[in-house]
């Protein structure tokens, strides 16, 4: 939250870098400030990040910022949990698996190998645990529905691409409003998990490929795309997008991203795209 004087403070802060502030407005009174300036973007970003307590700062070109394609990670980005960790809880081995998940998301382990090793530990878990986990544990991240539905209402497209599993990604994508989802397929036989992942792993390379192919299929330029993620396996797509956003991300991912959301929810990205609060498509609409 800002106070009424923070508009002037923000304007002065940007001007102090040598930039020329051309316009300033509230996108949401006392919640989101939008400044249009000419100057050194890197200097403005350095000055703006951390200047206000619990406020995020995103610096970008104003032209084309209402991007036509969003590609987003699922676990800890569009939902509040890591699904494999919660599945492991039903098997009584959550601490063991969660430690590996954390290290993989930090980029300390090979993602593909770490996923196969964790899934192997789930062998024998009843298939019914998937639906139970979906019903009991999966919570949509605040702002996810508004973000995706607003972009689509403006003629854009949204793809959920996850290193998690189709049994979670498909219903999550439908509930939030994505056009489609891409994720890994768990091996299941005789009503229990087989401890395998079917086919090639959806990892960092696949996420980047999904974004690049969607740009081509939709007749867009890479600048028209936006990628959102939190883990190390999201870095390639974040770097390939017109705007890559690290959302409450691991340090390696945050360092690689040109934009970060550390404090707000996913609606912060709507502000970054230039959409005032009054234009959002909300959950109850």
8-state DSSP, 28? E
Please confirm, yes or no, whether 34 is among the known catalytic residues: no
pLDDT digits (tens, 9 = 90+) for 220-238: 999 999 999 999 999 999 9
Please confirm, yes or no, whether 73 is among the known catalytic residues: yes
pLDDT bin (cut points 50, 70, 90) of residue 54 is confident
Kindly state the helix (H) or strand (E) to which residue 21 belongs, with its residue range. Answer: strand 20-28
- State the catalytic residue, choosing from 6, 28, 56, 75: 75
Q: Give the DSSP per-residue string, 64-126.
A: T-S-SEEEE--BTTTBSS-HHHHHHHHTT-HHHHHHHHHHHHTTSS-HHHHHHHHHHTTTT-B
Q: Find the range with the poorest average confidence among 47-61, 144-158, 206-220, 251-265.
A: 47-61
What pLDDT was estimated at residue 284? 53
- State the catalytic residue, choosing from 73, 85, 224, 234: 73
Rounded-to-integer distance, Cα 95 and Cα 86, Å: 10
What pLDDT was estimated at residue 51? 87
Three-class SS state of 63: coil
């Amino acid at each position: 939250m800002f106070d009424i004087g923070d508009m002037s403070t923000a304007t002065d802060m940007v001007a102090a870098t040598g930039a020329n502030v051309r316009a300033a407005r509230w996108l949401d009174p006392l919640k989101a400030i939008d400044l249009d300036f000419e100057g050194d973007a890197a200097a403005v970003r350095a000055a703006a990040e951390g200047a206000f307590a619990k406020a995020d700062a995103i610096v970008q070109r104003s032209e084309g910022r209402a991007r036509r394609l969003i590609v987003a990670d699922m676990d800890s980005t569009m939902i509040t949990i890591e699904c494999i960790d919660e599945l492991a809880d039903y098997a009584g081995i959550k601490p063991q698996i969660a430690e590996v998940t954390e290290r993989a998301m930090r980029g300390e382990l090979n993602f593909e190998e770490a996923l196969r090793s964790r899934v192997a530990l789930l062998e024998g878990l009843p298939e019914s645990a998937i639906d139970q986990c979906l019903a009991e544990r999966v919570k949509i991240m605040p702002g996810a529905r508004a973000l995706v539905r607003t972009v689509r209402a403006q003629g854009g497209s949204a793809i959920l691409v996850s290193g998690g599993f189709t049994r979670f990604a498909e219903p999550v994508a439908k509930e939030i409003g994505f056009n489609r989802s891409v994720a890994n397929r768990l091996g299941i036989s005789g009503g229990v998990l087989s401890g395998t992942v079917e086919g090639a792993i959806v990892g960092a390379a696949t996420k980047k490929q999904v974004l690049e192919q969607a740009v081509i299929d939709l007749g867009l330029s890479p600048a028209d795309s936006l990628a959102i993620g939190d883990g190390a396996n999201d870095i390639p797509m974040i770097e390939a997008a017109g705007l890559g956003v690290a959302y409450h991300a691991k340090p390696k991912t945050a360092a690689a991203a040109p934009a970060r959301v550390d404090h707000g929810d996913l609606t912060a990205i709507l502000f970054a795209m230039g959409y005032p609060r009054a234009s959002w498509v909300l959950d109850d609409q």
